[in-house]
Structure 1
Amino acid sequence: MATYKKKGHKPTSKEEQQKHVEEESTTAEVFNTLDEGAGKTEAWVAKNQKYIFIIIGAAALIILGYLAYNEFVQEPKEADAANEMYQAQEYFDAALDASGAESDSLYNMSLTGGEGKYGFLDIIDNYGSTDAANQAHYYAGMAYLNTSKYQEAIDHLDDFNSDDEILAPLAKGGMGDAFMQLDQPEEALSYYEEAASMRNNSFTTPKFLLKAAITAINLGEGEKAEKFLTRIEDEFPNSEQATQVPGYLGQAQAMK
């Protein structure tokens, strides 16, 4: 049974006296060790404090510099780029509603600018680190795609980076379209597959599944085409592409 020891209790037996001495000795060793460790740390800090202050100061300067850059350089640059790109987007949107030579002219103006405003290519050259410049790569790629400049389209769409639900797969699919026009169906198929798998929505997914299926059929890959078409049929039965599935599915199955 445990017993309560009063404060100030003095050891009476020799065993208790020995135990008490050992406990005091152990405690003293612990404190001595801690004192030695603290002393070494203090000595190291004292010896290296110049370098420590330099490191702390450098880190502070980096943080302050980053904050200042964002506030006084990057943010105004983003605003200027967005303002400059407005006219180019107007030309691009108008080109979508036009046709023939008028459409080509508007796409070219969206690329090179007009009315004293930059085009998408100018935005890329002058505001390369901004979100607007990244968006300009997408629009430039699509403008080139619609004016039959396929290698330029591929280059700009490949430089476009986005997590957007729609634009990201459209860019990959646009690269597939460009490769098809360059008579490189194998490359086109890989980009259509990637575009279809990047997101799962009722707009881009069935769109590029169908393009992948048609390309696979043209390459004689009926089994792969059937897989794409079946997915449209099962997952997107109300899509526009679903109405075209039966005809292409028959072609794909006939290849077996």
Structure 2
Amino acid sequence: MSKIPFTGKSPQARQQQQVVSSDPLQPAEAYNPEHPLLEDPDALAIRLAESEDFLRRNKNVLLGLAAVVILAVAGAFGYYLWRSSQDEKGQAAMFRAVSYWEADSLQKAMKGDGRNLGLERVASEYSGTAAGNLANFYAGVAALKEGKYKEAVDFLEDFSSDDLLVQARAYALLGDAHLELNQPKEAADFYNKAANHNANEYFSPGYLLKEATARELAKDYDGAITAYDKILNDYPAAAEAGEAKQYKARDEAMAGK
């Protein structure tokens, strides 16, 4: 059997390297270097050569990936700046429309006055900005007042707010629009969402009373009773509690209870 020469790269030499400590006070058998590459110059040189070869062979791919990352970051930053500028323009464009809305000049508020944009165009042209989002709310209320209930639903469904009370109000307005469209079940569901979105003693009882009325129109007397019970149990001191008690008794009779 041939013998493997004993060299610096032989298994015997590497075995010795594993038990020889640079610290003379440390027992040889306990020596176990934490960073073998730093202890073995040959291994470190091989690893560096492999890394250089990998970079050389994949230079184009790595440069392409770096370019993609840079373009993505630049694009995101550019979009943020563009969106911020669009929001400022939208807020400015909406100023006159809101003035007409507050003065109850709903036609000008919605369509504009020939020089200034109306809420409809602000909501469309500045979609995705805070200004466009708020324009949807104003336009939804205006359409509801004008009796354009389907338009009101479309605008209000495109609106969302982090303000819990405002969002609850938007749900209630959607309930009003659906009720006018003779869709009592959908109306009741939105009133329920309004009542339970940041539930409170000031607005929730009124929304629950509307929900009960809508469920009665949908012939859902059990659902109406549930809404009345919530008023009586959760908000007994509310002004709506008296009506809830009276109408609950009537619905129980209608439901044969």
In the alignment, does 2:84 pair up with 1:78?
no
| Aligned residue pair count | 227
What amino acid sits opposite 2:213 in the alignment?
Answer: I
Residue of structure 2 equivalent to 1:68: 78
In the alignment, does 2:156 pair up with 1:157?
yes
What amino acid sits opposite 2:131 in the alignment?
Answer: A
In the alignment, does 2:150 pair up with 1:145?
no
Pick closer, same or farther for the CA change 1:21–1:128 going to 2, 3 Å. Answer: closer
Residue of structure 1 equivalent to 2:23: none
What amino acid sits opposite 1:114 in the alignment?
Answer: D
- 1:214–1:248 Cα contact (<8 Å) kept: no
Pick closer, same or farther for the CA change 1:37–1:197 going to 2, 3 Å. Answer: farther
Residue of structure 2 equivalent to 1:233: 232
Sequence identity (%): 26
Correspondent of 1:56 among 62, 66, 86 = 66
TM-score, with structure 1 as normaliser: 0.76
Correspondent of 1:24 among 4, 13, 17 = 17
- 1:170–1:204 Cα contact (<8 Å) kept: no
Residue of structure 2 equivalent to 1:208: 207
- Secondary structure class of the residue paired with 1:161: coil
Residues 215-239 of structure 1: per-residue CA shift (max 9 Å, x gap): 2223332332222112222323343
What amino acid sits opposite 1:124 in the alignment?
Answer: A
- Secondary structure class of the residue paired with 1:151: helix
Pick closer, same or farther for the CA change 1:230–1:38 going to 2, 3 Å. Answer: farther
CA distance in structure 1 between the partners assigned to 2:67 and 2:183 by the alignment = 56
What amino acid sits opposite 2:94 in the alignment?
Answer: M
- 1:210–1:229 Cα contact (<8 Å) kept: yes
Structure 1 runs not aligned, ≥5 long = 1-18, 96-105
What amino acid sits opposite 1:214 in the alignment?
Answer: T
CA distance in structure 1 between the partners assigned to 2:114 and 2:89 by the alignment = 16
Residues 26-61 of structure 1: per-residue CA shift (max 9 Å, x gap): 88x985777655544442222112221222232123
Instruction: Tell me which of the two structures has the higher relative contact order, counting C-alpha pairs closer than 8 angstroms and 6 or more residues apart.
Output: 1
Structure 2 runs not aligned, ≥5 long = 1-11, 20-32
In the alignment, does 2:118 pair up with 1:94?
no
155-164 or 141-150, which deviates more: 155-164
How far apart are 1:202 and its partner, in Å? 3.2
How far apart are 1:69 and its partner, in Å? 3.5
Residue of structure 1 equivalent to 2:179: 180
